[in-house]
Amino acid sequence: MTEKERSQLGLLYNANYDEELIEERLHAKVLCHEYNQLHPRNIEERETLIKTLLGKTTDRFLIEQPFVCDYGYNIEIGENFYSNHNLVLLDGAKIVFGDHVFVAPNCGFYTAGHALDVEQRNEGLEIAFPITVGNNVWIGGNVSVLPGVTIGDNSIIGAGSVVTKDIPSGVIAAGNPCTVIRKISEDDKTKYKRN
């Protein structure tokens, strides 16, 4: 079994010394570098490059520069996805975003974890668990989402949160560790004035 196959099965694998994974990460880093060097007004070229890099995209999305990821092919974004500057996606496992997801600046989604045993960790062994973000989710600035987390539809994650466990649908959650503060209610429709 290859190290890549081990990673996809959620088993400990060696990402540090495996030539296939090293080359795949290097390929993604080169594309990220090219993307981050493109002129911001060159939207079509930016979209084309992201579509080459990511595993699944839609017709309407915008990923502000700079952006970095490990592999790219493990990332899926839904329709009307938007991320602000400095998005980091460590995609040793799948990272899937639903439709109408908004990600504020300086956020990281980290599927990778390292072995707890010091000898295994020193061998370079790590593990990767998928991250899933539902539809209509808003992620505040400086949020970290850790391996294996699912964030439910229509939820909001407050700025500065560290999401270590699943968050249900339709809630506002924040903190370190991130916990549910309250459900989103009908009153929230009138919280801010439009005119």
Whole-angstrom distance, CA of residue 184 vs CA of residue 175? 17
Give pLDDT tens digits for 16-31. Answer: 889 999 999 999 999 9
User: Which residues does 122 contact at the CB level (< 8 Å), separation at least 6?
Assistant: none
Write down the residue that tokens 């460590």 correspond to.
90
27, 33, 100, 114: the catalytic one is 114
**Segment 23-69, tens digit of pLDDT:** 999 999 999 999 999 999 999 999 999 999 999 999 999 999 999 99
| Domain boundaries along the sequence of the chain | 3-184
Q: What is the mean pLDDT of the chain?
A: 96
Q: What percent of the chain has pLDDT over 90?
A: 91
Q: Could you give the residue ranges of the DSSP H alpha helices within 9-166?
A: 19-37, 43-53, 118-122
What is 3-184's CATH number? 2.160.10.10
**How far is Cα 106 from Cα 104, in angstroms, rounded to an integer?**
7
**Residues whose CB falls within 8 Å of the CB of residue 49, separated by 6 or more in sequence, listed in order:** 31, 34, 35, 38
Is 114 annotated as catalytic? yes
Pairing of strands 178-183, 171-175: antiparallel
